[in-house]
C-alpha cells in the first residue's frame, strides 16, 4: 500500500511539473555467419549477479563480427528496431569484436527477445512496469530471457521519439534541440491533449532510468535535447555532450565520436574537446 501511494505521488508530482515547464560475423563462404553467438555470450554474462563482475574471460580466436553483420541475421522488424535504436543512442550499439559486444551487454544492450517485448508492448505499459519495479525494489515478473535493465534506455528514447513526432504533427519544423514549444507556439495557442498524454508517458519512462548503464546515459542525453528550459545551444550541447562523453568513456567506443562528427558537424570539435578533457593527464 505504501509503495503504491509513493508511486501515485511521484507520478502526479512529475506530471504537474514537466508540463508546466513545457508550456512557457564475419563473412564466410555461403553467406554471413556469426563467429560467436550473442545469445550464448549474453547467457554467460547474465549468470554473474554482480554488475562489476559481469565480465568474460576471452581466450578464443580473433573475431571480426560487426553490428551490421549481426542485424543482417535477424528478422527485418527486429533489425529495423536495432537500427533505429542505434541512431537514437548516438551510434553506440555498433561493435566490431566480442570484447566490444560484451561491454555493450553489461551496459544495457537489449537482446532480440527484449526488442520483441518492446515491439509488442506500448511505451506507457512498459514505463509503468519499469517505474513500479524501481520504487518497489522488486523485479518485474518477466520471462526469464528478459531483463528489465535492458529495456529502460530503449523505452525512454522511443517515448522521446513519440513526443517529437507528435509535436511535429502540429509544428512540422520542430526538431530535438530546439526549445520545446510554449503555449503561444501551438496553432490553437494551447498545448494539445495528445501532447499532454505523450509527456505523461515520457515522465514515467524517464523516472525508470538507472544511469549506471552507459546506454541509459545516452538515453538521458536525448532527453536533454528536448530542451524544455529553452536553453541556448552552447549550454544545451554542453549538457548533452557531458552525458554522451561519459557513456563513450564507459563503453570505450569510438563509434560514438564518429556519430557525433557526422550528425553534429558544427559541434564536433566541441565534443572532441570534452572527450580530451576526460583523458588522463
Q: Is 234 or 42 the better-scoring residue by pLDDT?
A: 234
User: pLDDT tens digits, residue range 69-115?
Assistant: 899 989 999 999 999 999 999 999 999 988 999 999 999 999 999 99
pLDDT at 182 over 90: yes
Cβ–Cβ under 8 Å, residues 70 and 200: no
Amino acid 44: pLDDT: 52
**What pTM does this model have?**
0.80
Compute the mean pLDDT over every residue in the chain, rounded to the nearest whole number.
82
pLDDT at 65 over 60: yes
pLDDT at 278 over 60: yes
The contacts of residue 139 (CB under 8 Å, 6+ apart) are: 133, 148
- The C-alpha atoms of residue 201 and residue 25 are separated, in whole angstroms, by 37
Amino acid 7: pLDDT: 44
CA dihedral sign, ordered 216, 221, 222, 226 = positive
All three cell numbers of 240, joined, read: 548533452
- Cα of 125 vs its chain's centroid, Å: 17
User: pLDDT tens digits, residue range 225-238?
Assistant: 999 999 999 999 99
- The C-alpha atoms of residue 217 and residue 250 are separated, in whole angstroms, by 10
Amino acid 18: pLDDT: 52
All three cell numbers of 223, joined, read: 532527453
Q: What is the DSSP letter of 176?
A: T
Q: How much is the average pLDDT of 216-228?
A: 97
Amino acid 8: pLDDT: 44
Exposed / middle / buried, residue 128 (Cβ in 10 Å: 0-12, 13-18, 19+): middle
Q: How much is the average pLDDT of 142-156?
A: 90
Nearest CA among 211, 14, 200 for reference residue 125: 200
- Model confidence at 142, pLDDT cuts 50, 70, 90, reads confident
Annotated domain spans of the chain: 2-24+26-277
Amino acid at each position: 500500500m505504501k509503495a503504491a501511494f509513493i508511486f501515485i505521488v511521484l507520478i502526479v508530482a512529475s506530471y504537474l511539473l514537466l508540463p508546466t515547464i513545457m508550456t512557457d560475423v564475419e563473412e564466410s563462404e555461403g553467406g554471413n555467419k556469426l563467429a560467436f553467438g550473442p545469445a550464448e555470450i549474453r547467457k554467460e554474462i547474465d549468470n554473474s549477479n554482480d554488475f562489476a563482475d559481469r565480465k568474460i574471460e576471452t581466450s578464443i580466436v580473433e573475431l571480426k563480427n560487426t553490428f551490421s553483420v549481426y542485424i543482417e541475421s535477424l528478422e527485418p522488424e527486429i533489425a529495423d528496431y536495432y537500427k533505429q535504436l542505434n541512431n537514437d543512442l548516438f551510434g553506440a550499439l555498433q561493435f566490431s569484436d566480442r570484447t566490444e559486444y560484451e561491454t555493450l551487454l553489461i551496459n544495457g544492450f537489449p537482446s532480440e527477445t527484449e526488442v520483441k517485448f518492446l515491439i509488442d508492448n506500448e511505451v506507457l505499459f512498459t514505463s509503468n512496469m519499469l517505474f513500479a519495479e524501481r520504487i518497489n525494489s522488486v523485479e518485474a515478473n518477466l520471462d526469464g530471457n528478459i531483463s528489465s535493465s535492458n529495456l529502460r534506455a530503449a523505452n525512454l528514447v522511443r517515448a522521446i521519439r513519440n513526443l517529437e513526432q507528435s509535436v511535429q504533427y502540429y509544428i512540422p519544423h520542430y526538431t530535438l534541440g530546439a526549445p520545446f514549444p510554449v503555449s503561444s507556439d501551438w496553432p490553437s495557442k494551447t498545448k494539445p491533449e495528445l501532447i499532454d498524454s505523450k509527456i505523461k508517458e515520457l515522465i514515467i519512462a524517464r523516472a525508470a532510468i538507472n544511469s549506471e548503464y552507459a546506454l541509459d546515459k545516452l538515453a538521458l542525453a536525448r532527453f536533454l535535447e528536448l530542451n524544455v528550459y529553452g536553453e541556448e545551444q552552447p549550454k544545451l550541447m554542453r549538457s548533452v555532450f557531458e552525458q554522451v562523453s561519459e557513456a563513450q568513456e564507459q563503453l570505450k567506443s569510438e563509434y560514438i565520436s564518429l556519430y557525433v562528427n557526422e550528425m553534429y558537424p558544427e559541434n564536433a570539435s566541441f565534443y572532441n574537446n570534452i572527450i580530451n578533457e576526460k583523458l588522463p593527464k
